Amino acid sequence: MNITVRLETEIDHHLVEEVTRCAFAYPDRIERGQIGCPYEHWMVHELRERDGVLELSFVAEAEGEIVGHIICSKAEVRTAEETIPVLNLGPISVLPQYQRKGVGKALITHMIDQAKHLGFGAILFFGRPEYYPQFGFKEASEFGVTDSEGYNYSSFMGMELVPGYLKPAYGGKYFESDIYNDELNREAVREFDRSFS
């Protein structure tokens, strides 16, 4: 399968949100007491308005259609002495029928290459520890960085895009965009979700 990765354009917005919605629409969300519909598509929509790094918002195309998307957002590591800007990865979305076919890998690889090219120093994020090390991600504890509460665990990962970039961050705490921590307005998400078929 031929996969092409390109920068997202404004024309792609609604379709990207639809792809993201489909990628995260797992029925077990209701059983777990979640909102009953995916909210990552709302998050992608909101990231375009605040804290999203639009130069790192890419779509993957296969067989003439958009089948995946990745976006990064602004984040930072705070120490007693300074604040170090970093990237946060995600959400990353792939249509269910295209998962495990290299789409996610193509998106992540392209994003890392472009982030390096644009001069970003590091990426920190929360993800699946069994998947992301293949791209060079390590546990954030190896850089001496904790989450905002001072904890570390295997799903909190990072990568230096510039060697030594995170050395001044040692002992610091990671803070992602407030969009990930805002109290979820469930009715606003449901209202947004109603615009999709």
Please report, for the domain that includes residue 34, its CATH number. Answer: 3.40.630.30
Tens-digit pLDDT profile for residues 150-190: 999 999 999 999 999 999 999 999 999 887 765 566 667 77
Average the pLDDT over 90-111 and give the result. 96
CA-CA distance, 51 to 178, in Å (whole number)?
A: 9
What average pLDDT does the chain have? 90
Q: Phi and psi for 186 in degrees, rounded to 5?
A: -60, -40
Res 35 pLDDT > 50: no
Assigned token pair, 21: 């919605």
Q: What pLDDT shows up at residue 188?
A: 72
Question: For the chain, how many residues are written?
Answer: 197
Predicted confidence band at 30 (pLDDT cuts at 50, 70, 90)? very low
115 vs 66, 101, 112, 160, CA distance in Å? 22, 23, 5, 11
Coarse DSSP helix, strand, coil percentages of the chain, rounded to the nearest 5 percent: 35, 30, 35
Contact 144, 169 (CB under 8 A): yes
Predicted confidence band at 33 (pLDDT cuts at 50, 70, 90)? very low
For residue 40, the enclosing domain spans: 3-193
Task: Indicate the residue type of 107.
Answer: L
Most distant CA pair in the chain, distance? 50
Q: Collapse the DSSP code of 45 into the 3-class scheme (helix H, G, I; strand E, B; otherwise coil) and give the result.
A: helix
Count structural domains, the chain.
1
